[in-house]
Every structure is written in structure tokens, then in C-alpha cells.
């Protein structure tokens, strides 16, 4: 089957960049990205491509190249479904906040709504591609909905999980380590699998396109994120040990990372991992293990989350302890609110939880981030529900100038590793801050010795 028209339901961090790359590399395929959020679609269609809703290096240039040619952003969901040969489902699958599985299981209500809408609208055979991160055997539920509520058309379901790292999404899409496509081991299933292989083959070498059964594909995504998060929590656990034994976690990481069996990636101690995937996927894995009565398996993976939460609290407590056990009425500047550099995504960012802890200690917190909006920062704090919306706005200030953030601050904490922070005139910043000037490098991006020479009282994670 030759795919000529693709519809992607969901114009978020996965759907938008992925479909843009497909449109760029497959000019003969029309790609419609649909979403019921009118404001989001309007932002994707903004004449100034710098205003698209997702910041990723290189993405705005790709959108400018393809938008209006064979890439379209629209709220006409039913029309796009009707015309499509292949439909990607790329909607949010947050952790449940209610009912059975609350706090762990994935909330699949948006997936189900998509399936029911596709089933009611489709008048011709469709290939359905799971792009959202989903629990193993979700395709089974999709199959049941599509086959029992549809119009008698054939649906073939594929699993095609994304392995993008925010901040490098465009390069990850352009040169992926692998593309994983899970399908059913039937004649129709293999044909559907091949149709998606043919799409990616326009730019991805075929030996990097892996095909599996649907269940293996679904579980592989959760497993990949769990393994990466486990490495972060492991090095962070050792960072605390380094601090009490006068070892240096950077030197330890370099030593063990030189072992070819271990490797050097994801061994950088920090204030903790964030983002939309790691915590959500591990909690999902824990819930699945518990559901099958695998207590020891569930306990093992849950410890990764426990360690990550501990690291955030430990960092915030260190700030309070260093500032003579009180931050009440003291100005604390936080540089960085996004969960990592080169993205405006703030989901589960460590900065949110560190700021929340400091606000509970009655600190005056001032935030600077080069890409995150004021509204998003306040929304993140409001979502925690620790204080009222008005209290958050009274207690926390967001500024557009890092020098304004650090002016007369008792301490500055770096919570995202934006490159611009490395290049700052730290001598001037030290002069602007109150004395003693405390600097907390939660991402280990600065030259500790240089900053100590400038007169900072410096704290970097993992060094005694």
C-alpha cells in the first residue's frame, strides 16, 4: 500500500515535530496535523514561524519550508480522518489522577476518544499508528473499539513509539538510532508495517528500521525510558555519598563511564530528571508489574522515582541549610525553568519542585528562563495546588533579564543547563548579589574553581 495522505491527531511535542520531518522528507505525501485546541493550531499557523508553540532548534526552519506545501495544521479533525490513508495518534497519555491506578497508571481517555472518533468517521480502510507512549497491550483495546463501533471498514494497528530527546528532537528525527514499528503477524499486518517502513525509508536507512510484534514495541518504549531514568537516579544516589565522603561525582562518573560495558551517557549528576516521559513511563511500568502481581519488579522500578524525588528535595534543603537555615524574606534567583536546555517544555521540571519548596519556606523567588513564558511558570505552580493562584503571583516573580533576577539576591540556583548560563559574566553577577554570594549549580555546568576564585560560595552536586 502506498501512503499518500497522513493525518496526525495531536499537535504537541511529538506530533508537531514528527509530522514536520515526514513532510520535509516525503514531499509527495500530504500531512495534516489536527488538534481541537484552536489556540495551538493558530500558533502553528502563525506567519512568524518563530512563534510556533514548540521551541526546538531547527524546527521553525523546517515548518517554514513545508507548511502550506504538504504540511497543514487544522482543527478540521473529521475531514482529515476521512481523507487519510494512515492516522497517527499522538495525544497526551498523562498519569491518572483519579480512580483505579491513580498516581501510576496511564490515563487512556484521550486515546479512546480518538479511536471512537476515527471509527465513527472513517469510510475507507485505515492504518492506525500508536505514536503516544502507551501501556503494553493498548492496541488490543484500540482493536476492540475500532472493530465494534466502526462502519465496517478495516483497521490495521501499528505501534511506532517515539524516542526523541527534547532539545535535540529535529536531529533525532533526522538521524534516529532506530525506528521501531510493531505490527500484527498477519498478511494485512505485515502489509501495514511495510507501508510505514516505506515512509521512513525516504530518509532512514532500512537497517535502522526495526520491526517487531505490537506488544514488544509498546513495552520497548517504556523500558527504554526506565533504563535511562535508572541511570540518572543511580548517579544521583552516588552523588550524595560523594558529598559525605569527599569524593567527586564527576570523577567517579568519568571513571566508570570509561568502562565500555557501562558507557558515559546519562551519568551526569544533577538536581533530578524531568520531562513528560521518564516519571510517567516508570510509574506506568510499576503499575503494570503490580497488576500482574510482580511486587519485586514494581518495587525495583518505583525506587527510581523515589530517588529522583529525594534529589530535588535534597537540593532545595541544601539551599536553606547553606543560607543559615532560613530563607524567609531572602531573594533566591533561579536560572532555568524548562526541564532541560533547548526546549520550552516544563513538564515535571525539577525547578518547579525546588521553587515550591523554597516558597513554602517563605523565600522571595525570582525566575529567569530564556524560552518559558510567564503564564507557563505560574501555571506549573498552580497545578501543584500548594498555594492559591494569587499567592503564587504574590510570592514569585518572573523576569526577562537574568541580571534583574540576580540583583540583590542572597543566592542563585541553576536548574536548567542552558548554554547561555555558562557564558555569563559571573564576576558582574557576583558584584550584583548580596554577600556572601551563594551559587548552587544544580546541573554541574560551571567551572567550580573559577567561580570560587571570583568569591562565590559554591555548591555543586556530588562533591565533598
User: Which domains are assigned to the chain?
Assistant: 5-204 (3.40.50.720), 234-460 (3.40.50.720)
Q: Is 153 exposed, middle or buried (0-12, 13-18, 19+ CB in 10 A)?
A: middle
User: Could you say which of 8, 26, 242, 277 is catalytic?
Assistant: 277
Residue 383 annotated as lining a ligand binding site:
no
Residue 232 annotated as lining a ligand binding site:
no
Whether the pLDDT of residue 225 is over 90: the answer is yes
Whether the pLDDT of residue 349 is over 90: the answer is yes
CA distance 119 to 155: 9
Diameter over CA atoms, the chain: 74
Task: Name the band, by pLDDT with cuts 50, 70 and 90, for residue 392.
Answer: very high
Question: In the structure grid, which three cell numbers stand for residue 313, read together?
Answer: 528535595
Share of the chain above pLDDT 90, in %: 87
CA distance 161 to 181: 8
Tens digits of residue pLDDT in 95-133: 888 998 899 888 888 888 999 999 999 999 999 999 877
Tens digits of residue pLDDT in 36-70: 999 999 999 999 999 999 999 999 999 999 999 99
Contact call for residues 345 and 13 (beta carbons, < 8 A): yes
CA distance 132 to 77: 18
Question: In the structure grid, which three cell numbers stand for residue 392, read together?
Answer: 503564587
Residue 373 annotated as lining a ligand binding site:
no
Residue 277 annotated as lining a ligand binding site:
yes
Summarize the confidence of residues 271-295 as an average pLDDT: 93
Residue-level pLDDT at 233:
98
What is the pTM (predicted TM-score) of this model? 0.90
Residue 268 annotated as lining a ligand binding site:
yes
Residue 102 annotated as lining a ligand binding site:
no
Residue-level pLDDT at 142:
83
> Does the active-site annotation cover 277?
yes
CA distance 460 to 443: 8
Amino acid at each position: 500500500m502506498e501512503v499518500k495522505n497522513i493525518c496526525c491527531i495531536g499537535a504537541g511535542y511529538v506530533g508537531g515535530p514528527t509530522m514536520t520531518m515526514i513532510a520535509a522528507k516525503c514531499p509527495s505525501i500530504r500531512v495534516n496535523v489536527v488538534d481541537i485546541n484552536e489556540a495551538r493550531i493558530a500558533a502553528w499557523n502563525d506567519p512568524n514561524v518563530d512563534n510556533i508553540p514548540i521551541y526546538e532548534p531547527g524546527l521553525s526552519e523546517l515548518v517554514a519550508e513545508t507548511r502550506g506545501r504538504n504540511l497543514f495544521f487544522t482543527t478540521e479533525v473529521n475531514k482529515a480522518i476521512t481523507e487519510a490513508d494512515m492516522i497517527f495518534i499522538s495525544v497526551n497519555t498523562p498519569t491518572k489522577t483519579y480512580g483505579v491506578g491513580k498516581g501510576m497508571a496511564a490515563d487512556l481517555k484521550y486515546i479512546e476518544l480518538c479511536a471512537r472518533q476515527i471509527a465513527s468517521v472513517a469510510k475507507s480502510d485505515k492504518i492506525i499508528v500508536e505514536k503516544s507512549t502507551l501501556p503494553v497491550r493498548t492496541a488490543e483495546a484500540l482493536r476492540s473499539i475500532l472493530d465494534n463501533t466502526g462502519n465496517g471498514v478495516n483497521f490495521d494497528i501499528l505501534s511506532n513509539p517515539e524516542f526523541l530527546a527534547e532539545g535535540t528532537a529535529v536531529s533525532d528525527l533526522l538521524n534516529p538510532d532506530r525506528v521501531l514499528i510493531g505490527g500484527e503477524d498477519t498478511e494485512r499486518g505485515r502489509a501495514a508495517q511495510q507501508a510505514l517502513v516505506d515512509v521512513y525509508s525516504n530518509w532512514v536507512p532500512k537497517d535502522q528500521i526495526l520491526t517487531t510484534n505490537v506488544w514488544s514495541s509498546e513495552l520497548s518504549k517504556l523500558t527504554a525510558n526506565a533504563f535511562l531514568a535508572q541511570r540518572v537516579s543511580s548517579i544521583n544516589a552516588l552523588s550524595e555519598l560523594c558529598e559525605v565522603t569527599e569524593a567527586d561525582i564527576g570523577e567517579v562518573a568519568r571513571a566508570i563511564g570509561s568502562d565500555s560495558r557501562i558507557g558515559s551517557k546519562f551519568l551526569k549528576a544533577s538536581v533530578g530528571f524531568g520531562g513528560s516521559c521518564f516519571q510517567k513511563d516508570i510509574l506506568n511500568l510499576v503499575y503494570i508489574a503490580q497488576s500482574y502481581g510482580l511486587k519485586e519488579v514494581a518495587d525495583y522500578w518505583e525506587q527510581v522515582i523515589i530517588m529522583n524525588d529525594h534529589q530535588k528535595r535534597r537540593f532545595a534543603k541544601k539551599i536553606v541549610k547553606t543560607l543559615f537555615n532560613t530563607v524567609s524574606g531572602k531573594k533566591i534567583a533561579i536560572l532555568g525553568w524548562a526541564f532541560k536546555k533547548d526546549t520550552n517544555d516544563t513538564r515535571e521540571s525539577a525547578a518547579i519542585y525546588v521553587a515550591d519548596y523554597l516558597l513554602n519556606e517563605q523565600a522571595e523567588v525570582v525566575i529567569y528562563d530564556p524560552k518559558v513564558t510567564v503564564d507557563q511558570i505560574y501555571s506549573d505552580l498552580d497545578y501543584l495546588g500548594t498555594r492559591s493562584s494569587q499567592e503564587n503571583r504574590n510570592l514569585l516573580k518572573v523576569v526577562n533579564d537574568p541580571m534583574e533576577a540576580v540583583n540583590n539576591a542572597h543566592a542563585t540556583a541553576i536548574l536548567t543547563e542552558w548554554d547561555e548560563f555558562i557564558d555569563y559574566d559571573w564576576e558582574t553577577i557576583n558584584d550584583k548579589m548580596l554577600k556572601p554570594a551563594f551559587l548552587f549549580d544544580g546541573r554541574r555546568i560551571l567551572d567550580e574553581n573559577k567561580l570560587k576564585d571570583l568569591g562565590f560560595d559554591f555548591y555543586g552536586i556530588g562533591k565533598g
